[in-house]
Amino acid sequence: MKSVTSRIVLVLLAVVFLLNACNEPTSIPEKSENPSQTPEASTENDVLYIRGAILHFLEDPAKVDVVQSFQYFENGLLIVKDGKVVEVGPYSALKSKIKGEVIDYSGKLIMPGFIDTHIHFPQVEMMAAYGEQLLEWLDTYTFPTERKYKDKAYSKKMSKFFLDQLLKNGTTSALVFATVHPESAEAFFEESHNRNMRMIAGKVLMDRNAPDYLLDNPEKGYLESKELIEKWHKKGRQLYAVTPRFAPTSTPEQLYKAGELMKEFPDVWMHTHMSENTDEIAWVNELFPDRNGYMDVYHHYGLTGPRSVFAHSIHLTDEEWKLFQETHSAVSHCPTSNLFLGSGFFNLKKADSLGIKVGIGTDVGAGTSLSQFVTLNEGYKIQQLQRNKLSAFKGFYLATLGGARSLELDNYIGNFETGKEADFIVVDFAATDLQEERISHSPNVEDKLFALMMLGDERNVAATYIMGKKLYERPAN
Ligand code: GUN
Ligand code: ZN
């Protein structure tokens, strides 16, 4: 009798063990030069069952038949364990797996968090600076503002404000410029680490053509960057980008040292600006007469590559498009900034035809919104002016999986594949009377998504989750 009981207990234990094993997220295979997984940062042990309409992307709608590019479950279920995605699918197919309370967002849309591939955290306070194009805008407004970030306490305060604003807008990851001061990057990483957000950031390198108070020098910039890399790169979800501001504010010696950092730390990122404004391009050609154009300056110093991200890249020559292709470098397309500073129109169609990685950047403070909805809205108009159509599917792809791919982070974030980090947002299709009226006429989900892309803003973000933990909830009206 005793042995029968113990056999039953053993069988029950085995069943429980097998059930748990089935729920375990498969870990994402490491990319050879990618960040390690960061279990220390994961605090969520509970299994979450999130119900609602669910949208995520599996491929670029420009590369495959559009219906193959995404999954949309009108009544879906997302299962998350220990901060990672276990499974996603139709509620009817997955409901037998529910073993706890369901968080019910029926009627709302669950999507992967947005990824902002180019933004300056110290520039939030100077958004909407009047009247100038790039070079005058930098001298008149940007440099004096960035001066304040030498103060660590101020940088902390503004990092907090910035990250809270990102969460409010549904942005869960970003590639971020700090200022030249290491204190600014330090403060940013501390705050981002506290929130367990996957962020790439760096201290700016700049040693000429700016006020003295904002200059480092090649050796100082190198040593400060190295110290920050050693402290922060791959700490929790934090990652480092070597960040020369743009070619005009770095001497050849400094660009050389930036290239040395990339060699010494081959798994860090490189983040800069390029070919944003025609006066800027003429200036680069004057400053670097021995180089064959703007991108060749960066290429010459070893700053191109799969983890190199070039904000703007509007006025590219054929050689530069080719360099993007050959080096697998990525573009961050920044629509609101390009319109605000009168910089020009990015050629997305050409980038797609050449297979170049593109993500969306707000480029705040030249950008005029932290919202990816608003940014895509302006991006749509930039494509219209070039007789190209930016569909809602392509837009939301770019703001999620496309962004993750452009940052080489798609093994970790960007969609709801099993094992990915569960950064997701809950979106209201209609946050205003106007939106409600508009979508009541929508014939299908594609039209509803387009209306969201064109009319949406931060009011449409009902909640933001970081690795399965709710960090933002829109206050009730
Ligand atoms: N080029 C160099 N610095 C900057 C900057 O801060 N913002 C933008 N938009 N372009 C730049
Ligand atoms: Zn920028």
For the segment 341-361, what is each residue's pLDDT rounded down to a tens digit?
A: 999 999 999 999 999 999 999
Task: Reply yes or no on whether the pLDDT at 5 is more than 70.
Answer: no
Task: Reply yes or no on whether the pLDDT at 35 is more than 90.
Answer: no
- CA distances in angstroms from 50 to 19, 85, 101, 424, listed in the order given: 20, 11, 9, 10
Q: Using CA positions, which residue lies closest to atom 5 of ligand 1?
A: 138
Q: What burial class does residue 27 get, using C-beta atoms within 10 Å of its C-beta: 0-12 exposed, 13-18 middle, 19+ buried? A: exposed
Name the residue of 119, 214, 245, 297 to mutate for ligand 1: max ligand atoms within 8 A of Cβ.
Answer: 245
Q: Which of 36-50, 123-137, 180-194, 232-246 has the weakest average pLDDT?
A: 36-50
Q: Match 């709608």 to its residue by tokens.
A: 61
Q: What burial class does residue 133 get, using C-beta atoms within 10 Å of its C-beta: 0-12 exposed, 13-18 middle, 19+ buried? A: middle
**Any atom of ligand 1 within 6 Å of the Cβ of 254:** no
Side chain identity at residue 433, one-letter code: D
For the segment 284-333, what is each residue's pLDDT rounded down to a tens digit?
A: 999 999 999 999 999 999 999 999 999 999 999 999 999 999 999 999 99
Q: SS3 of 57, please?
A: strand
For the segment 247-295, what is each residue's pLDDT rounded down to a tens digit?
A: 999 999 999 999 999 999 999 999 999 999 999 999 999 999 999 999 9
Task: Reply yes or no on whether the pLDDT at 20 is more than 70.
Answer: no
Task: Reply yes or no on whether the pLDDT at 15 is more than 70.
Answer: no
For the segment 200-249, what is each residue's pLDDT rounded down to a tens digit?
A: 999 999 999 999 999 999 999 999 999 999 999 999 999 999 999 999 99
In ligand 1, the atom with minimum distance to the C-alpha of 120 is 6
Task: Reply yes or no on whether the pLDDT at 83 is more than 70.
Answer: yes
Q: In the prediction, which pLDDT does 423 show? A: 99
Nearest-angstrom CA–CA distance, 15 and 9 = 10
Q: What is the largest CA-CA distance in the chain?
A: 92
Q: Using CA positions, which residue lies closest to atom 11 of ligand 1?
A: 273
**Any atom of ligand 1 within 6 Å of the Cβ of 138:** yes
- CA distances in angstroms from 461 to 169, 377, 415, 437, 473, listed in the order given: 6, 16, 18, 18, 8
**Any atom of ligand 1 within 6 Å of the Cβ of 276:** yes
Nearest-angstrom CA–CA distance, 10 and 16 = 10
Which residues in 275-376 belong to E strands, given as ranges? 308-312, 330-333, 357-360
Task: Reply yes or no on whether the pLDDT at 50 is more than 50.
Answer: yes
Nearest-angstrom CA–CA distance, 367 and 116 = 12
Calculate mean pLDDT across residues 461-477. 96
- The ligand that comes nearest to the alpha carbon of residue 274 is 1
Calculate mean pLDDT across residues 425-451. 98
Q: Match 């593109």 to its residue by tokens.
A: 358
Percentage of the chain exceeding pLDDT 70: 91
Q: Which of 28-42, 82-96, 246-260 has the weakest average pLDDT?
A: 28-42
Count Cβ neighbours within 10 Å for each residue of 85-118 and write b for 16 or more, e otherwise. Answer: bbbbbebeebeebeeeeebebeebbbbbbbbbbb
Contact 262, 242 (CB under 8 A): yes
Q: Using CA positions, which residue lies closest to atom 9 of ligand 1?
A: 366
Return left, alpha or beta for 38; rule: phi > 0 is left, psi -120 to 50 is alpha, else beta: beta
In ligand 1, the atom with minimum distance to the C-alpha of 341 is 9
Task: Reply yes or no on whether the pLDDT at 27 is more than 80.
Answer: no
Q: What burial class does residue 408 get, using C-beta atoms within 10 Å of its C-beta: 0-12 exposed, 13-18 middle, 19+ buried? A: buried
Q: In the prediction, which pLDDT does 24 show? A: 32
Cα of 363 from ligand 1 centre, angstroms: 8
Cα of 337 from ligand 2 centre, angstroms: 8
Cα of 126 from ligand 2 centre, angstroms: 13
pLDDT: is 29 or 101 the higher one? 101
Q: Using CA positions, which residue lies closest to atom 8 of ligand 1?
A: 366
**Any atom of ligand 1 within 6 Å of the Cβ of 245:** yes
Contact 249, 273 (CB under 8 A): no
Instruction: Please state the pTM of the whole predicted model.
Output: 0.91
Task: Reply yes or no on whether the pLDDT at 458 is more than 90.
Answer: yes
What's the pLDDT band for 190 if we cut at 50, 70, 90? very high
How does the average pLDDT of the chain come out, rounded? 92
What's the pLDDT band for 7 if we cut at 50, 70, 90? low
DSSP H helices, 149-293, are: 152-168, 182-195, 218-232, 252-264, 278-287
For the segment 364-406, what is each residue's pLDDT rounded down to a tens digit?
A: 999 999 999 999 999 999 999 999 999 999 999 999 999 999 9
Task: Reply yes or no on whether the pLDDT at 21 is more than 50.
Answer: no
Cα of 374 from ligand 2 centre, angstroms: 17
Nearest-angstrom CA–CA distance, 360 and 311 = 9
Q: In the prediction, which pLDDT does 46 show? A: 86
Cα of 116 from ligand 2 centre, angstroms: 12
In ligand 1, the atom with minimum distance to the C-alpha of 134 is 10
Calculate mean pLDDT across residues 446-453. 98
Task: Reply yes or no on whether the pLDDT at 472 is more than 80.
Answer: yes
